[in-house]
Chains A and B, each alone.
Chain A
Amino acid sequence: MPSPHGKPLPHYPARLTAATEASLIIREEMIATAAAGLAELSDDELRRRYTHTGLS
């Protein structure tokens, strides 16, 4: 990615810390749990919840 001055930015190889990776894993687990809960809902229940959000 070029810098505002037109020169390419230096590349600094980096990796996430173990603690940050752990927090991302928790986030994935929460999303997976929510997705599993949604998959168990009936079409009617899904429709009811969707319209309840006011997005329809």
Chain B
Amino acid sequence: MIEFLSQKDSWAPPTFAVTDDAEDPLVLSARELRRDSWERNLAGTIRSMGLVGPAADRHRANAEQAELDFLCRLVEETWSLSDVDLRNRAPEIVAKLTGGTAELFADNPATLSRGELLTAIANHVAGLAARVIA
């Protein structure tokens, strides 16, 4: 398995486990990919609501937590989907995790098994995030 992951994730060392209170690396990668549009939306909301000072800071903190909660729920939900549901929803899920990036995440998703689809999604999100961060 280590060999398998090392081959798949040649751009970064694989992370096998995280502590219970830490976010999944996939969630953190998705947050980085969505950050620009998230910042724009947040700034627009704060401006339109006329928030300044501590009120704006509180709104920002709440919005950050809401974004993390959304991504955690999305990953959990994705990993519990059945074979058929995952195949149907994979493009939508990839778009949500990457902030709407239209890039294809796999050559032919219809031919992949559930495990292969999940791996393709995880690799695609992490690979895009690595490019954004680099």
Q: Interface on A for B, CB 8 Å cutoff?
A: 12-29
Contacts and interface: CB of A to CB of B under 8 A. Distances in A.
Interface residues of B, number: 28
Contacts of A16: 16-17
Q: Find the residue from A18, A20, A25, A28 having the highest chain B CB count within 10 A.
A: A18
B133 to A, nearest CB: 17
A25 to B, nearest CB: 4
27 contacts: A12-B19, A13-B19, A14-B18, A14-B20, A17-B15, A17-B17, A17-B18, A17-B25, A17-B26, A18-B24, A19-B9, A19-B14, A19-B25, A19-B26, A19-B119, A19-B122, A19-B126, A20-B5, A20-B14, A21-B118, A23-B1, A23-B119, A24-B1, A25-B114, A25-B115, A29-B115, A29-B116
A26 B121 CA distance: 13
B113 interface: yes
Nearest to A22: B118
Given A18-B79, A29-B114, A23 B17 contact: no
Given A18-B24, A24-B115, A29-B116, 13 more contacts: A12-B19, A15-B17, A16-B17, A18-B26, A18-B79, A19-B14, A19-B15, A19-B26, A22-B79, A23-B115, A24-B1, A27-B115, A29-B113
A40 B63 CA distance: 55
Contacts of A28: 115
A21 B79 contact: yes
Contact of A26 (B21, B113, B126): B113
Nearest to A12: B19
A53 to B, nearest CB: 24
Contacts of B20: 13-15
